[in-house]
Amino acid sequence: MNKIKIRINDIVCRGEKGQTVLEIAKDNGIYIPTLCNYEGIKPQGSCRICTCMIGGRMMTACTTPALDGMDIVTNSDELEKFRATIVELLFAEGNHFCPTCERSGNCELQALGYRYKMMVPQFPYSFAAKDIDADNPKIMIDHNRCILCKRCIRRKKEKDNPNWFVFKKRGAKVQINIDHELTADFTDKLAQQAMDTCPVGAIIRKEKGFDVPIGERKYDKNPIGSDIEGLKE
């Protein structure tokens, strides 16, 4: 018998042996927030956003295999506060300026910020000096926005692809960097794939702009102010 039953928030949920708590919750229409988790990549439970009370203990839903009869709580006030705190820490640690980010509106961290009604983090911003690597012709990486979920590195490892992204530095200074040799002939498709893997706006595919500007600008034809009475020559 491969079928199992677990209780999530007092709802009986059915699943199969080998599935994680997160997978069964999803299959049964119960939302558990995630960040470092990505379909098709082995979960690692590093961001802790999916933490639930499993058998009375705080455990990550993405890495915990579901066992028949398990009792799980996903939505207590305590858990939601814990998750909101993680989101605030991520915002305080990086330099996330949503209004100027290309991924605004399509960012998993931003979505969680909205979900937890975050206005200003309770922690001081670190405003760490982080750089942007835009040397690759197809992609750029903005370290200011990276939340170190390692989805980019883990995805490549698992798909038997070369590691297009590599770790640089250690400890608190650890960085995800582009391997410029391996990505020298990166295609638009691969660049888009890399961008889609990233939950935030840290990996951005470079897109060509317009050869011809859209429309005609007034000031291209006449110098600014030339239509003002008294300034005309």
Question: Which residues here bind ligand SF4, judged by CB under 6 A?
Answer: 146-152, 176, 197-200, 202-203
Minimum gap (Å) between residue 151 Cβ and ligand SF4:
4
CB nearer ligand SF4, residue 4 or residue 108 = 108
* Residues near 201 by beta carbon (within 8 Å), at least 6 away in sequence: 101, 102, 103, 104, 107, 142, 145
Minimum gap (Å) between residue 95 Cβ and ligand SF4:
13
CB nearer ligand SF4, residue 22 or residue 165 = 165
CB nearer ligand SF4, residue 38 or residue 72 = 38
Minimum gap (Å) between residue 154 Cβ and ligand SF4:
9
Instruction: Please report which residue ranges of 10-63 form alpha helices under DSSP H.
Output: 21-27
| Cβ atoms 109, 200 nearer than 8 A | yes
CB nearer ligand SF4, residue 72 or residue 200 = 200
C-alpha to C-alpha distance for 129 and 144, rounded to whole angstroms: 8
Minimum gap (Å) between residue 202 Cβ and ligand SF4:
4
**DSSP character for 31?**
-
Minimum gap (Å) between residue 164 Cβ and ligand SF4:
10
CB nearer ligand SF4, residue 22 or residue 148 = 148
C-alpha to C-alpha distance for 207 and 211, rounded to whole angstroms: 12
C-alpha to C-alpha distance for 86 and 50, rounded to whole angstroms: 11
CB nearer ligand SF4, residue 73 or residue 98 = 98
Minimum gap (Å) between residue 195 Cβ and ligand SF4:
9
Q: What does DSSP say about strands 71-73 and 203-205: parallel, antiparallel, or unpaired?
A: unpaired
Residue in the block written with tokens 């979960």: 43
C-alpha to C-alpha distance for 24 and 7, rounded to whole angstroms: 10
CA-wise closest residue to 139 among 98, 80, 188: 188
| Cβ atoms 147, 94 nearer than 8 A | yes
